[in-house]
Amino acid sequence: MSSADTYKGVRVLELTTTIAGPYSAMILADLGAEVIKVERPGGGDDARSMPPHRITGAESESAVFHAVNGNKRSIVLDLKDPAGREAFLRLAETADVVVQSYRPGAADKLGLGWADVHGRNPRAVYCSVSAFGASGAAAGLPGYDPLIQAFTGMMSMTGQPGGAPVRVAPSLTDLTTGMWAAMAIMAALRRRDLTGVGEHVEATLVDSGYALLCHQIIGMYATGKTPGPLGSASPITAPYECFETDDGWVMIAAGNDGLFRRLCRALGVPELLVDERFAGSAARVRNREVLHEIIQACVGTFTTERCLSVLREAAIPVGPVHDLREAVDHPVAVDRGTVLEAEQAAGEPPALPMVRLPIDDPGTARGRPPRLGEHSEGVLRESGFSDEEIAKLLDITS
């Protein structure tokens, strides 16, 4: 059985924008669910307008939107109009899952909240995705990935000591919130198998941010010290950081005593093995700066290729610091099928590629992201709407 058949027959109504909510729905889509993306008239999902864009003739395609909306269908409904709102609720009657990312309380004001959907379809699982959740000290506050990175302390630990706070380049809290939302939905679907009733689950960016910092938080309680930035280094062992070669950079991860012994011998500094400053991981962490200087002096005499060869021959974990192009062109990424082809519509330019989710079967091709409203008429017709109703709804959104 293919992973793409796991949720075959499950219908998901996605009422989300940007990254976190769409990513959760795309995970379900890649597992075989039918995902119907409900978008507002005009611009649709905010991510459609986010740079960078690929411009092809008169077409403009957002890389952000493309990355998290594969394998979906798009329908446009004006949810502020009573007819559009009723159409959504009729679609919800046929859905197994509704996932929305409105600011807390906004879906309820529109008549599209948990109680509204549950009243029409008691079996539907309803997932709310937000920054801070609907209750507590920051209830309802808006938030985006960099705000959450800043709020949770993540930025204060990223970058070089003494430097300004630094944002982690990937949208970590957005993407992990999407993962948590998908897992919460999967768990709720399993519970529905047992109870016959759907439930309301939520995923928040702030919870995801704190979860990513789990060992830093526990480490702070263990030591009483608030961690700060360490550059590429780790607070748990050393040497476990980047070093500059004659023509680039390498990451060395000599994380235990055995690896440290092999590293010292490979670099020709066996005297470090009898130096009390470096006897054990804790001592090496305390004396990281002086240890870094010694190892840097050795590594700096090598080219990157030579350094990798010497250390790998000694069975020491080491790797080059790639730029993104080098990383995705590397044979490892090719072997893993990291970059996928997306389906191409007849007569159109080649579609942008997609990035394989780790749960996808290798070699899987993903359906391209939908154009705004591409499936409006088809979805409505399949769901039992009359020609007159369809014409009215399409007229409202045109």
User: Could you give the residue numbers annotated as active site?
Assistant: 174
SS (H, E, C) the chain: CCHHHCCCCCEEEEECCCCHHHHHHHHHHHCCCEEEEEECCCCCCHHHHCCCEEEECCEEEEHHHHHCCCCEEEEECCCCCHHHHHHHHHHHCCCCEEEECCCCCHHHHHCCCHHHHHHHCCCCEEEEEECCCCCCCCCCCCCCHHHHHHHCCCHHHCCCCCCCCCCCCCCHHHHHHHHHHHHHHHHHHHHHHHHCCCCEEEEEHHHHHHHHCHHHHHHHHHHCCCCCCCCCCCCCCCCEEEEECCCCEEEEECCCHHHHHHHHHHCCCHHHHHCHHHCCHHHHHHCHHHHHHHHHHHHCCCCHHHHHHHHHHCCCCEEECCCHHHHHHCHHHHHCCCEECECCCCCCCCCCCEECCCCCCCCCCECCCCCCCCCHHHHHHHCCCCHHHHHHHHHHHC
Question: How far, in Å, CA of 45 to CA of 69, rounded?
Answer: 10
Question: How far, in Å, CA of 277 to CA of 48, rounded?
Answer: 55
Cross-strand pairs, 204:
130
What token pair was written down for 310?
A: 């010497």
Q: Sign of dihedral through CA atoms 66, 72, 75, 78?
A: negative
